[in-house]
Amino acid sequence: MARVYNFSAGPAVLPESVLKEAAEEMLDYRGTGMSVMEMSHRSKPFQTIIDEAEADLRSLMNIPDNYKVLFLQGGASQQFAAIPMNLMKNKVADYIITGQWAKKAYQEAKLYGTANAIASSADKTFSYIPDCSDLPISENADYVYICENNTIYGTKFWQLPNTKGKDLVADVSSCFLSEPVDVTRYGMIYGGVQKNIGPAGVVIAIIREDLITEDVLPGTPTMLRYKTHADAGSLYNTPPAYGIYICGKVFKWLQNMGGLEAMKAINEKKAAVLYNFLDESKLFHGTVVKKDRSLMNVPFVTGNADLDAAFVKAAAAAGFQNLKGHRTVGGMRASIYNAMPIEGVEKLVDFMAAFEKENG
């Protein structure tokens, strides 16, 4: 068995110890005689799994009691609709457009009310985060929306926008649990787990309780109402049970790593290995304004599309996989999520240096 270094943006690398544990429990989960995949979501063992997962997430992120944790389905993309349906009481929301995922959320919100694009970095191919210290926030905005880490373009909000008192809603799909966050600064934090936490199929939403009401847009499906899932402890219908079980294991892995402060330090060290190389290299260049660089997704180019393709191919053959950049950006992208070991990045940089020597 040979594991590769997997730089995929998502679904993405998971901690090897978690995969091994899951393998050991595959046929007989702790004496139940069945896999978690085969287990009723109304059973005691599964209730324990979901309760522990929630408790561990709460402790990792220091989530206050007045926030609900929901385990949902439909991907982050379904939240692009659910958010306006649940939160647009005045039918107005402000969106900051820092990439494709923010843009998609904005376009979806326009189906339900007035969505204003109050800032954008489209002018420079989303290679930076706009100054959000004094934006024209709409007086009757129900929320201000951001995509906090832009998976495709490799930018990150290192400072949250000044929302002038409005609730902040953030898609954190690709930076979930990569660093500590102050949950109280958000009305809602959500993300698909397949980037930095677990297998595809689970969305985690952390929502302040007062935002979860029956006052939703007319026609909002029962399944898209946050109240439905909050009232039922995420067990209104069959949840993505196996995915939640793996997420729970990743939460415990993070606790063993020392929690989110420790994870942040590791992520900074890891990203620095790659960024320092890119800053010195004569062949490879990062595409993002330095102060806005993501710790999770690192796009880079040689400036020559043929050479980019040759690099991606050679890297894959050497065991560094999924380095091809997003089709809208070209070049390369290394996603270096929590579960990517630092050796993976160090070896990638060695490989890049050797490639540069041969092709520079």
Ligand X SMILES: *Cc1c(COP(=O)(O)O)cnc(C)c1O
Residues that bind ligand X (CB under 6 A): 10, 75-77, 101, 147, 151, 171, 173-174, 192, 195
Question: Minimum CB separation from ligand X for residue 1, in Å?
Answer: 28
Identity of the residue, 115 or 147, whose beta carbon is nearer to ligand X in the bound complex: 147
Residue 162: Cβ-neighbour burial (10 angstroms; 0-12, 13-18, 19+): middle
Q: Which residues of 5-32 are buried (b: 16+ CB within 10 A; e: fewer)?
A: bbbbbbebbbbeebeeebeeeeeebeee
Q: Is 195 a catalytic residue?
A: yes
Q: Which residue has the tokens 């694009």?
A: 117
Q: Is 171 a catalytic residue?
A: yes
CA 203 to chain centroid: 10
Question: Minimum CB separation from ligand X for residue 25, in Å?
Answer: 26
Report the residue number whose CB is nearest to ligand X: 75
Identity of the residue, 17 or 77, whose beta carbon is nearer to ligand X in the bound complex: 77
What does the alpha-carbon distance between residue 209 and residue 302 come to, in Å, rounded to a whole number?
48
Helix axes 44-61, 241-257, angle to 10 degrees: 40
Identity of the residue, 82 or 323, whose beta carbon is nearer to ligand X in the bound complex: 82
Three-state DSSP class for residue 155: strand
Question: Minimum CB separation from ligand X for residue 326, in Å?
Answer: 10
Element (H, E) at 114: strand 114-120
Identity of the residue, 142 or 148, whose beta carbon is nearer to ligand X in the bound complex: 148
Q: Is 56 a catalytic residue?
A: no
Strands 5-6 and 203-208, sheet pairing = unpaired
What does the alpha-carbon distance between residue 13 and residue 335 come to, in Å, rounded to a whole number?
9
Identity of the residue, 108 or 349, whose beta carbon is nearer to ligand X in the bound complex: 108
Question: Minimum CB separation from ligand X for residue 197, in Å?
Answer: 12
Contact 4, 345 (CB under 8 A): no
Question: Minimum CB separation from ligand X for residue 194, in Å?
Answer: 6
What amino acid positions are annotated as catalytic residues? 101, 171, 195
